[in-house]
Amino acid sequence: MDQPLTGFGANALHDSFHRMFDRSRDEAPATLELRLDRLARLRSLLTDNEKRFEQAISSDFGHRCAVETLIAETLSLLGDIKHTAKHVKRWMTPRKVKTELQFWPGQNRLIPQPLGVVGIIAPWNYPLQLTIAPAIGALAAGNRVMIKPSELSPAFSALLQETVAAKFDADEMVVTGIEDGIAEAFARLPFDHLMFTGSTRVGRIVAEAAGRNLTPVTLELGGKSPTIVDRSADLDEVAPRIAYAKLMNAGQTCIAPDYVLAPRDQVEPLAEKIRAAMARMFGSDPANADYTSIVADRHYARLKGLVDDAAAQGATLLQPASADDAAWSSRRKFPPTLVLGATSDMKIMQEEIFGPLLPILGTDDAAETIRFINGRDRPLALYWFGTDEAARDEVLARTVSGGVTINDCLVHFAQQNQPMGGVGASGTGAYHGEWGFNTFSQLKPVFYRSPYNRFADLYPPYGGKIARLSKVLRWLS
């Protein structure tokens, strides 16, 4: 295999892309055997370097809980690869499509084809999972893949570049550098499909750059994902599930609960139970290895700014320590913080939090809860807790979000037979399993005309045959 592409600058970027592009046009589509081989190599890339990826990711964070990397990244990806390898033969087989009576005995088929070259712009928060997961779908669909990692994960990026180059030829899959200017140049390449995972703000920039080439894009963004606690919910069950989902990866998760809506008289009891659950799981010692650091100083400062702004406007903070405490800030461990009394004027309710801060708001009834959610951008995820099925179904019917988990958080992301994607400001397009295969394929409709069907012979002069044909078609309609 080719050697790692260290110092991957703009010239190497363009050369690599055009080599891939030309090969994708000159060569026959990847066979099933080649696709399975690529998936097997991707699996060995993960298993051969599992500990190295864990260490590199932790280095980039300052500290990353090893169990979180194992569960949310490595094991998740190994499951995705196994699922994809099991089903890719069926996915790539031409699909029968119903043919209307007037075209019998002709046949319709939907033929999946590789698009060509797929670009993936990856984020830093789950760098392995959110890089390799879309690559699984793209490779299964028979494409060639270029990956641009995040500049906030330099150790991981260098390792990924090295390991991909050791397992894949440069015209199959390649990882770029993270130097200044690479991200913008990458987004401007005329990919056959471009996938971006990250913030809504940057997603708009990527979509605009891709639009110059009419490159189709899949945008996996974020936003403020609400959690609804219905009056029928058992708070003792709800609290640990919300606490864990919020503090996993220190809240640096695009589908983390961003805020909670609960009946007004249950806000304080719920907050106390969540606070207690957080303490049981993660303690109050910032040296706890189970609690992940904030990725960078500027992100820590941003979170502190959200908390300070809320406190200055009258919010109540429940924290084990102040964010200024040197024991926490020196490790970039942000103290888990519950915010009571948050209002729409506070910055914490105006932007995605992406950290271990959780506002808990009170509402008078389900109608007010639904109005509150619908008055904001469509969220990437929504969570509902309770046993009242009518109330649950009303929320499902009257709110729009990328995905939903009922009586838990995050778990819809792990469903291999369901799509993962956003809606509106939280993203466009979807992937995971067959949905990813379809996203990175051209599902080409083909009609095979039969020599025994004369219905299509509508050549002039028309004469009376149009009237006869119209009569038949009206009868069939």
Length of the chain, in residues: 477
CA–CA gap between residue 120 and residue 210 (Å, rounded): 12
Stated as kind and residue range, the H or E segment containing 340 is strand 337-340
SS3 96: strand
Q: The dihedral of CA 388, 389, 390, 393: what is its sign?
A: positive
Q: What is the spatial distance between Cα 91 and Cα 105, in angstroms, rounded to a whole number?
A: 25
Q: How far apart are CA 421 and CA 429, in angstroms?
A: 6
Cβ contact 407:392 at 8 Å = no
Six-digit token string for 389: 């099925």
Query: Angle CA(141)–CA(128)–CA(241) in degrees, nearest 5?
Result: 105
Say how far apart CA 329 and CA 318 lie, in whole Å: 17
Closest of 55, 58, 23, 28 to residue 168, by C-alpha: 23
237 catalytic residue (yes or no)? no
Distance separating alpha carbons of residues 56 and 62, to the nearest angstrom: 10
Do β-strands 316-318 and 337-340 pair in parallel, antiparallel, or remain unpaired?
Answer: antiparallel
How many Cβ atoms from other residues are within 10 Å of residue 448's Cβ? 11
Q: Closest Cα partner for 292 from 18, 33, 69?
A: 69
Tell me how far the alpha carbon of residue 350 is from its chain's centroid: 22
- CA pair distance 459, 447, nearest whole angstrom: 20
Catalytic residue among 68, 73, 172, 220: 220
Between β-strands 107-114 and 95-97, what pairing exists: parallel, antiparallel or unpaired?
Answer: antiparallel
> Going by C-beta distance under 8 Å and a sequence separation of 6 or more, which residues neighbour residue 430?
218, 419, 420, 421, 436, 439
Q: Which CA distances in Å does 261 have to 278, 359, 361, 384?
A: 18, 9, 5, 10
Q: What one-letter code names the amino acid at 148?
A: K
Distance CA 216, CA 197 (A): 14
Q: Which residues are catalytic?
A: 220
